[in-house]
Structure 1
Amino acid sequence: THYMDEAVRCHRLCVFRSGRRVALASPGELTSALEDRVVELWGEPTGEAIKLLRGRPEVASLTQMGDRVHTLLVPGAPAAADALGPLVEFLTGHGLEDPGGEVAEPNLEDALVALSQGEELE
């Protein structure tokens, strides 16, 4: 299925990329492989925050969730708690209003993004 709300309820998921199996694991196993790699950031305007964060080398993917930007960090980036301060300072330095952030839990979409970018999560 391509529906994350259905996939997260499955006992096991098999993920393919270019016709090859790249993962066979439970949703929890896939997301736990990304612990310490997700932060949620905010700052107004949100669209400008996304535009600025897209150019950061430590950012693998961004997803807007309301007024927050769910951010997956690349492998080898500082842990989420260590990356958070510099990312908020970056947004502050670019004039965003009331920037902030927090460490967040990875979700299944993060795992699928990582797998699609060639990471091995098993």
Structure 2
Amino acid sequence: MRFKATLPLPELRRLKQDQVNAKRAERLAEGYAFEGAIFATDPQSIANMTAVLAAIGAGVDLPDGFAWRDQNNVNVPMDAETFKRFAGGLLARVNQIYTQSWSRKDEIETSDNPASIDADLML
């Protein structure tokens, strides 16, 4: 006689949701493509971007020759309007990743068979 090990449904749901969280973290860490370059999306990079965006919003002029460094360590010149588009695009990407993860986690929470739900986030 064979036995199949199974987790209780609440534990299986939590495990699958943890997998979604891990996939979300992977997607967030992949970097952000903007105008032909890939930019870092680690917490320090996001904090730096947020500070620059706040300064622009407060009316602070960017220094002459301002640039944002991409993942290949290439300086990409940006003026204030370009930087706002850069930040806005990143915000949209992060929101898309989170929204998809929330939807997947809701699907897991309401499923009678959460093991059948793919934890990957397709963007």
Q: TM-score, normalised by structure 1?
A: 0.26
Q: TM-score, normalised by structure 2?
A: 0.26
The structure with the largest helix share of the pair is 2
